[in-house]
Amino acid sequence: MPVFHTIASKDIWLGDHVYIWSSVFHQHHGIVIFVDRNDPDESQVLEFSTYDGSRKPNRARIQVVSLKRFRKDCSLKRVVYGSRYARFKRAGTAYESQCLAPEIAVDNAHLVLEQINYGDGFIEPNNLTKPWTAEEAHGYNLFIRNCECLAYWCKTGRWISAQVIQLVENVSKYLLAIIKAIIDSLVREKLIPSIGQEALSEMIESILPACSSKFCVFAFAIQALLTYLTYGAAGITPWIGGFIGSLIGFVVGDFLGRLVVNGVAQLNDAFFAN
């Protein structure tokens, strides 16, 4: 595999997870579901993109297109699975995890198409009891329903987007600094006592990386920051209260959860000991 993952159209294989750089910061992903050896550009790729070539999310569809249309005159690249160097690569170009056999990846791609075209919608991989409606299945969402999510699920059976995860993790590094700056401002405005500043900062620093929903924390912090910039310190106070409440809920929930798990484990040990 070349260092930059570039391949020629004639070198694709059935079940390949391919991608292009559609912009400097964004990749477009797809799964090869049919290979035409006579004319590789007429091979078929399952993708999640707009049907008219626009960049409007509301026009995005899970669809099958030719390899030529998928490439859009960009260099074609193949995603690497089971890579020891994935952590040093750009997110979405290589994964440490192993992938399924190519024929299973193709079967998964056809399963998606069948559910959308002939069923009531697409079964959400992370919640098998709640299917997406036909409209939701085609509803592109940068965080939870994008082209990388679809391709990665076909290859592994798991629904994630490494591009988005890396983006959120990189941005979250600066969220703590922003939140601390807001707290400092509130202290200067005497809206919160300085005695609680250090304790509050330590709580945020210890809990923020552990939050299970980083996307919610990210969105919450951005909205709070915009409110602060617009209305000043007084306007941000309710947001700080809500954020602290969320953190307290997280701590209490985690504590109670550990108590329950440990209690069940002890009862289980006592039962088998007797």
Residue type, 52: D
Residue 50 reports pLDDT greater than 50: yes
C-alpha to C-alpha distance for 10 and 79, rounded to whole angstroms: 16
Run of H or E residues at 74: none
* Distance between CA atoms of residues 79 and 91, nearest Å: 10
Per-residue pLDDT at 53 exceeds 90: no
Residue type, 13: W
For 247, the enclosing helix (H) or strand (E) is: helix 233-273
- Per-residue model confidence as pLDDT tens digits over 91-148: 788 898 899 999 999 999 999 888 877 765 565 555 545 555 555 555 666 656 788 8
Place 207 in a pLDDT band, splitting at 50, 70 and 90: low
Correct CATH for 9-159 of 3.40.50.1580, 2.40.50.140, 3.90.1720.10, 3.40.50.720? 3.90.1720.10
**Beta-carbon neighbour count of residue 133 at 10 Å?**
11
CA distance 69 to 152: 20
pLDDT per residue as tens digits for the range 214-262:
555 555 555 556 555 555 555 555 656 666 666 566 566 665 665 666 6
Q: Where are the domains of the chain?
A: 9-159, 164-270
What's the confidence (pLDDT) of residue 86?
Answer: 72
With helix as H, strand as E and coil as C, how does 112-177 read? HHHHHHHCCCCECCCCCCCECCHHHHCCCECCCECHHHHHHHHHHCCCCCHHHHHHHHHHHHHHHH
